[in-house]
Amino acid sequence: METVLAFDFGLKRIGVAVGNTLLRQPQPLAVIEAPTNAAKFAAIASVVAEWQPARCVVGLPLHPDGAEHEMTVRCRRFANQLHGRFAVETALVDERYSSAVLEAKRGELIDSRSAAIILQQYFDETISS
């Protein structure tokens, strides 16, 4: 059984969810909001230290046709930073439709729930029953 953390990266907020490869049932964990990248990574370091994940999953935003855009590049960079700073394997998951699932909840902090959807998609795509 391995612990997996998922991140829904945004410029203002980063949603975090946690799950494991045995149960494959992600849970929203936190929304990280900090004024600087250093503060964001300090908060992420606390989460990583607490949960000791075997892998981190980052949602990869794409246009509906699969084309990349500015946030795609930023999310790839974020995943690389997670790998480099915390020496944890990272995986990218297409998140094109994860936010749409939660669109009706606009105005609420949905980032951690988006991260949970991203993690569920990772489990569904990569781990067989």
Residue pLDDT, tens place only, 57-105: 999 998 888 888 899 999 999 999 999 999 999 999 998 766 554 554 4
What is the chain's mean pLDDT, rounded?
88
Whether the per-residue pLDDT at 128 is higher than 70: the answer is no
CB count within 10 Å of CB 71 equals 17
Q: What angle do CA 39, 41, 43 make, to 5 degrees?
A: 70
Compute φ and ψ for 112, nearest 5 degrees: -70, -35
Whether the per-residue pLDDT at 47 is higher than 70: the answer is yes
Whether the per-residue pLDDT at 43 is higher than 90: the answer is yes
Type of residue found at 88? V
Number of structural domains the chain divides into: 1
Tell me the residue range of the domain where 65 lies.
Answer: 3-126
Q: What is the CATH number of the domain that holds 50?
A: 3.30.420.140
Interatomic CA distance for residues 4 and 53, integer angstroms: 5
